[in-house]
Amino acid sequence: MADVFTPEKRSWIMSRIRGKWTGIDLKMREILADTDMRFEMYPSMLGNPDFAHRQMRIAVFCDGDFWHGYLYRHGKVPRQTFWREKILKNMKRDRYVTRKLRREGWSVLRFWEHNINSDPDKCLRKIRRKIEERRRSRK
């Protein structure tokens, strides 16, 4: 199916999609505030995580369901070649970044958009568990 917008209009529409200060990032910021630890938002480092605690070496990614391929796991793949290729590239990059950070001693936490929105308490429990795990390993 051909795009209903001209390439210029599509480009304009896509330029309006934010990569920072999104709803799920702001919700995660609230969740992280309940850990009583200061996480840096949008640190400049490998993979550009949404949050990181450099001393504890914990990186937190908030992955959008569409952009990072959650729906692929349920057989819902976009028809357009452009979107399929883009999302597959994002998924490949996510795997690479996670592996590389872990090899460098980081704990990597990835949360899906729908989990952040529907079950923030579960996200908080995972983060707290990781913090405790890192604290124990540092002793």
CATH assignment of the domain containing 119: 3.40.960.10
pLDDT at 14: 62
Please report whether residue 106 resides in a domain.
yes
The whole-model pTM stands at 0.86
**Is a pLDDT exceeding 80 seen at residue 27?**
yes
**Is a pLDDT exceeding 60 seen at residue 1?**
no
Please report whether residue 11 resides in a domain.
no
Please report whether residue 15 resides in a domain.
no
Count: domains in the chain = 1
Please report whether residue 77 resides in a domain.
yes
Mean pLDDT is lowest, of 20-34, 41-55, 111-125, for 20-34
Residue 73 amino acid letter: R
Q: Which domain holds residue 71?
A: 56-139
Q: State pLDDT tens for residues 54-108.
A: 999 999 999 999 888 898 877 888 888 888 899 999 999 999 999 999 999 999 9
pLDDT at 17: 65
pLDDT at 21: 76
Please report whether residue 40 resides in a domain.
no
pLDDT at 84: 87
Please report whether residue 49 resides in a domain.
no
Are the C-beta atoms of 101 and 108 separated by less than 8 Å? Answer: yes
Please report whether residue 87 resides in a domain.
yes
Please report whether residue 41 resides in a domain.
no
Mean pLDDT across the chain, nearest whole number? 89
